[in-house]
Amino acid sequence: MNTTETTKEEQTFSMPRIGDKAPEFTAVTTQGHINFPSDYKGEWSILFSHPADFTPVCTSEFMTFAHQEEKFKKANCNLIGLSIDGLYSHIAWLRTIKEKIKFNGMENVEVKFPLIEDISMNVAKKYGMVMPGESENQAVRAVFFVDPKGIVRAIIYYPLSLGRNFDELYRALIAMQTSDKFNVATPADWNPGDDVIVSPAGSCGVAEERMTATDELECHDWFFCTKKLDKDLVLNEILQK
């Protein structure tokens, strides 16, 4: 493989990893220019890509995200969409959604969050959103959670044919914020109000204390201890009034 081919492959497949600083970019969107992630400093963001405008699965997703935007806003989280389409295509598609499309009980849905124009594929390549095995000219359904410090905290990828689960995206956002706020981990299928996991004991002494203590911890074994975390406490600390 020559240098040109190597560079092209790296541009296509490279993607930031969890814990990396989110790649910076300036872009034209349906809500004006944005500088990412600097415009969203101090807030969470979900940057997500979709394959193309005027496609049915993408339409269902944008309607769902728009319908839930206020819920994400209350959790201090911005939504930013992207596809490899032009601005005028974006505008026409969003107008069509509002004026003509009914889905899952939703209609007259106005998409108010920014949708990035990325005809050059510059942003999609920075974030590894184009996967030639799936499509060479469309972005897969990528989701990047970026925290208030501009750090990538979670990444989820879906194929072109699979619409995303938006309840899970919201659950993941709240779970990460809960972990940050209360210094805990969240177990499988966790939702606010469920027990949380305390970090494993770092020494034999601490492990013994946990197994014999009668405090708020419930230890199933030395490495697996949980405690209750009140749902209202979690939501009052995280959600903006």
CB 187 within 8 A of CB 195: yes
Single-letter amino acid code for the residue at 22: A
Which amino acid, 53? D
141 annotated as a binding-site residue: yes
3-state secondary structure of 16: coil
CA angle 187/182/222 to nearest 5° reads 50
**Residue 204 bears catalytic tag:** no
Q: Which residues contact 96 (CB under 8 A, 6 or more apart)?
A: 54
Nearest to 25 by CA among 176, 129, 97: 129
Which residue out of 58, 77, 219, 225 is catalytically annotated? 58
Q: Does residue 176 sit in helix, strand or coil?
A: helix
Q: Which residues are designated catalytic?
A: 58
Sequence ranges of the binding site: 141
Sequence ranges of the binding site for substrate: 141
